[in-house]
Amino acid sequence: MSQRSGPPPIVFILLFLGLLGGGYWWFFMRNPAPISTTTQPENNSPTGVTSEAFPLPTTVASGTTVKIDGSTSMVTINQNLRNGFEKQFPGAKVEAMGNGTDKGIQDLLAGKVDIAAASRPLTAQEQGQGLKAVTVTQDAIAVIVGTGNPFNQGLTSSQIADIFQGKINNWSAVGGPSASIRVINRPAISGTHQTFKELVLKKAEFGKTPNITTLQRDATTPLIQALGTDGIGYATFAQVANQTRARVLSVDGLTPDAGNYPYQRSLYYVYKDPASAGVQAFLGYATSPQGQQALTLGN
C-alpha cells in the first residue's frame, strides 16, 4: 500500500481560515466604520444636566450683570461665587436671591433672572422649555433637631420615613423620652422638600397628621427657630453644620460628611439655552477650579 504524500487535509483547512481572517481584517478593520459622536445619557445621570463645558473667561465686560434666584440651599454658594466672580472680574456684578427652586425656575422662564439655582434635577417639561442645568457641587440633606431636644441618638432611614409620614409621632418609639414629635416640613416649592421626598420617602407623600407643620416660606432660619425641644426637620448640611441652635442626627449610623451617607444630592445652576455671554462667563467661573475654591472657602 503506497504512503500518501503531502500535508494532511487539516493543513489546508487552517490555511483557508487564515486567509479568510486576513481578508476580513483588510476590508473591515483597516477602515472601520466611523464611531458616532452622539453622547447618550447614562442611566444614572440626572436628566437635563448638560455636558457642555463653559470655559473660565479671561475677561468679562464691565457692566455685566448676572441675576440669580432659586434654592435656599444655595444661598451661601451664590454669595461665595458672587464674591469671587466680582473680585476676579472688576466691573461685573452678580445679584443673588433665594426664593426657592421652583420660583427661581419660573423667574428664569419669565426672563426675570439669568440663572436659577436648583436643588433638584429639571423635569421633562422644564427641559422642553429650553432649560439646561450644570452641576455646581454635591450636597447632603441633614436631619436636624433643636439643641435643647433631649433625644440624643441617631435614627434609621425607616424611622425617619415613618416620622415624616406621620406613622411615628412620639419620641419614645425611637428610643427617646415620652414626648410628641413635632415635624417641621418645608413647603412643596422647595427643591429640598422634593429631593427629601424622593430620597427619604421613596416618592411617597408626606404625612398629614396634626403633628406635622408645613412652613409657608422656604427658609432654614425659621425652620431652626421652630424646632424647640421636640421638633425635627431637615436642611442642606452646609447651612446647619456649624449651627448653635440645631443638632444634626446620624442616619443609619452615618453623618452627612460620610461618603456613603444616604441622603446626598447634586446642586445645579439652570440657564435658558442659548446662554448669554454673562451667563457663560459666570458658569465658566463657577465650575472652574477658582470658582470651586471660592465656593468651598467663601472667597
Average pLDDT over residues 270-289: 97
CATH classification at residue 162: 3.40.190.10
158, 257: one domain: yes
Task: Tell me if 214 is assigned to some domain.
Answer: yes
Boundaries of domain holding 199: 140-264
232, 249: one domain: yes
Grid cell of 9 as nine digits: 487535509
209, 239: one domain: yes
Name the percent of the chain lying above pLDDT 90. Answer: 79
Mean predicted lDDT score pLDDT of the chain:
87
Domain count, the chain: 2
Task: Tell me if 218 is assigned to some domain.
Answer: yes
Which among 94, 108, 190, 107 has a CA at the least distance from the CA of 141?
Answer: 190
81, 171: one domain: no
Model-wide pTM > 0.85: no
- List, in sequence order, every residue forming a beta bridge with 140; answer none if it has no partner: 264
Grid cell of 231 as nine digits: 421638633
pLDDT band at 14 (very low <50, low <70, confident <90, very high): very low
In the predicted structure, residue 19 carries a pLDDT above the cut 80: no
Long-range contacts of 164-170 (CB under 8 A, 24+ apart): 164/196, 164/200, 164/201, 164/206, 164/207, 164/212, 165/201, 165/204, 165/205, 165/206, 165/207, 166/207, 166/208, 166/209, 166/211, 166/212, 167/207, 169/209, 169/211
275, 230: one domain: no
Task: Tell me if 195 is assigned to some domain.
Answer: yes
70 Ramachandran zone, left/alpha/beta (phi>0; psi -120 to 50): left
Higher pLDDT, 254 or 43: 254
Task: Tell me if 116 is assigned to some domain.
Answer: yes
Grid cell of 213 as nine digits: 407643620
In the predicted structure, residue 24 carries a pLDDT above the cut 80: no
154, 206: one domain: yes
185, 200: one domain: yes
Helix (H, G, I), strand (E, B) or coil at 207: coil
254, 222: one domain: yes
Grid cell of 235 as nine digits: 436642611
Helix (H, G, I), strand (E, B) or coil at 163: helix
pLDDT band at 49 (very low <50, low <70, confident <90, very high): confident
69, 124: one domain: yes
**Predicted pLDDT of residue 227:** 98
258, 165: one domain: yes
Task: Tell me if 213 is assigned to some domain.
Answer: yes
pLDDT band at 121 (very low <50, low <70, confident <90, very high): very high
| Cβ atoms 121, 133 nearer than 8 A | yes
284, 216: one domain: no
Average pLDDT over residues 83-91: 96
Average pLDDT over residues 70-97: 95
146, 283: one domain: no
pLDDT band at 235 (very low <50, low <70, confident <90, very high): very high
Task: Tell me if 184 is assigned to some domain.
Answer: yes
**Predicted pLDDT of residue 50:** 64
Distance of CA 9 to the CA centre of its chain: 66
**Predicted pLDDT of residue 51:** 58
- Lowest mean pLDDT segment, chosen from 8-12, 80-84, 90-94: 8-12
